[in-house]
Amino acid sequence: MLNTLIVGASGYAGAELVTYVNRHPHMNITALTVSAQSNDAGKLISDLHPQLKGIVDLPLQPMSDISEFSPGVDVVFLATAHEVSHDLAPQFLEAGCVVFDLSGAFRVNDATFYEKYYGFTHQYPELLEQAAYGLAEWCGNKLKEANLIAVPGCYPTAAQLALKPLIDADLLDLNQWPVINATSGVSGAGRKAAISNSFCEVSLQPYGVFTHRHQPEIATHLGADVIFTPHLGNFPRGILETITCRLKSGVT
């Protein structure tokens, strides 16, 4: 069994991780943690996410030092903010853990990308080189040997699963950039309450037009420019992407 630690387990992504890891026949959850300052510290995960009642009733333990939790751990999932993952991943790697990072901190092998799109200076260019991009359908061989896996973003996952087969088969005329119109449910914005995510306020609306950080992630890993417009939908979860692209002459 792989002893597994989930960091940042109180949010929606963390709760989904708990569900999947708990079902995995070769994984054992050793602990669930949140930041030492979190209001959720000390609560049961199943009190925050009732679907876990009687299935996983572990407490959310406050973590201020990874050495309290890393001994004996094989796998760490980081469901944390980008800057937090940036700081924690090297520490867990040094402790001998395999790290799956759900943030954007290691997805693109270009330090300037993080200054422009994430607003922080990346201190670990060697880990950007080392990180495997976790789109399993195309990067499976790299994942087998990787110690640091950068889990793809939500929009990039949907976009690449649709477009990569066509690009790899050389079926598209990429002189006309693929147009990606994407809509996400409000859970993609996280668990924290905000007026903009209230169902009394939300209608279908675009956001981050021409500036969303997932556009360069998509383009980088596709190896092709795209036009990407994200939208917020008034539904809880899920992503729908409508993608328009031009086939090469003679392709039917």
Residues annotated as catalytic (active site), given as ranges: 154
Pairing state between β 132-133 and 148-150: parallel
Q: Which of 20, 124, 141, 121 is nearest to 75 (CA)?
A: 20
CA distance 86 to 149: 13
DSSP-assigned letters across all residues of 84-135: HHHHHHHHHHHTT-EEEE-SSTTSSS-HHHHHHHTSS--S-HHHHHHPEE--
CA distance 74 to 212: 34
Amino acid at the residue 69: F
Sign of the Cα torsion 243, 114, 187, 52 reads positive
Pairing state between β 179-184 and 239-244: antiparallel
Q: Which of 230, 225, 194 is nearest to 211 (CA)?
A: 230
Are 245 and 166 a contacting pair, CB within 8 Å? yes
CA distance 169 to 235: 35
